[in-house]
Amino acid sequence: MTVSTDKKRIFLIGFSGTGKSSAGRVIANILGWEFKDVDELISLRLGKSIEKIFSEDGESVFRDQEVLVINELSNETNSIVISTGAGAVTSESTLELLKSTGFVINLEASPELIYQRLSNIHEVNGAEAMVRPLLSSSDPINRIRGLKSERQFLYMSAHWTIHTDQMSTGQVANEAVRAWRKNGNYFNLTGSPNVVSVVNAESGSYPVVVGWNILEEQLGSHVHGLGIKGRAHIICDSNVVHPYGRSAQRSLHNAGIEMTLFTFPAGEASKNLKTVETIYEWLASKRVERGDVVIAVGGGVVGDVAGYVASTILRGIKLIHVPTSLTAMVDSSIGGKTGVDLPVGKNLIGAFHQPIMVLADVAALKTLPQRVLKEGWAEAIKHGFAFDETLVEIYENELEMLLGLDPEVTTSVISKNIKIKSDIVTNDEREVYGLRQLLNYGHTIGHGVEAAAGYDRYLHGEAVSIGMIGAAKLGEILSVTPIEVVNRLIELITRFDLPVNYTDVSIDDIQAAMSRDKKMLSGEISWVLLDAVGHAMTYKGVDQAIVLQVLKELSKT
């Protein structure tokens, strides 16, 4: 769904106590727009407080009125800022309406701050009446955390997210205005319902398009809609040129876009500067221009190599990712990281270069070998354990549907993963604030195992699986990760037929590879650990003797 460009309309969403109404009034004042509070309008319409509506009429009456009011506001002709209730996003049709008729901003706050704010309200009004039972429970913060976690993937589908913990109302409003002025009028793509997420980066915003069997049908029209004036240079590897490289060619041809295609040998062994140089020479022979676009069609290796080429040729040209592997769809295609390997380490040469669009055709997963498909689920499992417990529950309950690639279930789950990655990149594009670092859960040991084994024994996701188990065991020893979390992770990884140990890999070589990790700071590893399912944290100062103990536990001889 795309953002409307013909109406000036901002919707504020978020959990109770995040400051939507207060910030909304200030935003409207800055922009000179009207302000409307959905809860206030419902209360006026029914002539009673929201709390009485819930107690006397029931939640269903309130939700029906909420839908009516939001529908009316979405058709307002005046420029307007609208504060919605905390539960408005729980209606899929309402959420899609918000995203298609306005610029949606999610206000985030920690459960602790939410509890503090709601406790300080003398009289709980509006939809906050729903959280009164949470405040009176024996453990209100965990109750708030639980309810918020259930809705988190919905909040994260907003076009923009603002973390309010360290901000005043005025600062939140100014950030919202800045976001609107930078991105509010960006999208005029094609009106596709397959746009499931928006990444807001320093270089601009870009859509992530997800669907089943959409590559040949939609790629060309989307590229045309993005206003590309030059040629498209498709880069893929020998594994995906048939059928996906050719499908991309046909789609672009049908849209009247001139294109070229380059193929290099598949595999991690091609992820080096020699391959990059070969592509440079090919593009130069095709007289590449700055108005052209590189389209990376393939898995993570293709995305990394083609992305690095796009970031450097002619000092940078546009890039589109068409990921065909699960790992690339849920992780590497989003966020702008590009790079190639050196003999001493992985991804040691690279640059940040955001794409202008990501298009993921989930049906492409049908042609993956089972081992490659399963290793892709490791990154998705990581997202669940590090950020969203509801995803973990979906994996546990829908495993057979996911491994069988049920179109509806798989597309939905991949979309949820993409929303998580998009939101993190939006809020910490260059790993300045520590949020994006949390995506490295399992990667410190994982990269060490991968490098020590020579990059040919373990696929990336397999190494990350081992790394997640290692990080969980490390957290358990440090009294950070509860044993229940460790056991739940081991059980799920085992059910996905992913490794939990490594075999015949030198521990000394793993430690040496870990010491070259690019995330090292002043010679010290910043570990990503779990303190709960769905919540990751960083931890420094780990004794090397403990790390060695964990590596020995992971070794299976």
- Express each pLDDT in 231-278 by its tens digit: 999 999 999 999 999 999 999 999 999 999 999 999 989 999 999 999
Q: Are the beta carbons of 128 and 16 closer than 8 angstroms?
A: yes
- Active-site positions read 315, 337, 379, 421, 431, 436, 440, 443, 447, 460
pLDDT for 121 = 62
Which residue is it, tokens 């083609």? 306
List pLDDT tens digits, range 345-402.
778 899 999 999 999 999 999 999 999 999 999 999 999 999 999 999 999 999 999 9
At 21, the pLDDT band (50, 70, 90 cuts) reads very high
- Bigger pLDDT: 354 vs 182: 354
Q: Is 523 left (phi over 0), alpha (psi -120 to 50) or beta?
A: left
For the segment(s) 421-554, the CATH number from 3.90.550.10, 1.10.1240.10, 1.20.1090.10, 1.10.1740.10 is: 1.20.1090.10
Structural domain spans, the chain: 9-183, 195-368, 421-554
What is the average per-residue pLDDT within 518-547? 89
Q: Which of 278, 273, 328 is nearest to 298 (CA)?
A: 328
Separation between Cα atoms, residue 127 and residue 208, nearest integer Å: 32
* DSSP H or E segment with residue 236: strand 232-237
Q: Which CATH class is domain 195-368?
A: alpha beta
Taking 90 as the threshold, does the pLDDT of residue 167 lie above it? yes
Name the CA radius of gyration of the chain, rounded.
Answer: 24
Query: Mean pLDDT throughout 86-110?
Result: 89
Tell me if 9-183 shares its fold with 195-368.
yes
- Per-residue pLDDT, averaged over 407-426, amounts to 94
Q: What three-state secondary structure class fits 539?
A: strand
Buried-state track 150-170, b at ≥16 Cβ within 10 A, e below 16: ebbbbbbbbbbbbbbeebeee
Please tell me the distance from the alpha carbon of residue 478 to that of residue 465, in angstroms, as a whole number: 20
Could you tell me the two tokens for 128?
């906050």
Mean pLDDT within 425-440: 86
Question: 197: part of which helix (H) or strand (E)?
Answer: strand 195-201
Contact 292, 230 (CB under 8 A): yes
What are 364's two structure tokens?
């492409």
Which CATH superfamily hosts domain 9-183? P-loop containing nucleotide triphosphate hydrolases (3.40.50.300)
CA–CA dist 226, 189 (Å, integer): 6
SS3 at position 334: coil
The C-alpha angle 181, 182, 187, rounded to 5 degrees, equals 100
pTM reported for the whole predicted model: 0.71
The long-range contacts involving 455-459, CB below 8 angstroms and separated by at least 24 positions, are 455/268, 455/269, 455/341, 455/346, 456/268, 456/269, 457/505, 458/499, 458/502, 459/371, 459/372, 459/375
Identify the CA nearest to 336 among candidates 316, 352, 347.
Answer: 352
Inform me whether the pLDDT recorded for 55 exceeds 50: yes
Q: How far apart are CA 371 and CA 3, in angstroms?
A: 39
Distance (Å) of CA 438 to CA 128, 193, 317, 326: 31, 30, 29, 20
Query: CA-to-CA distance for 260 and 252, rounded, in angstroms?
Result: 10
Question: And the tokens for 375?
Answer: 């290793």
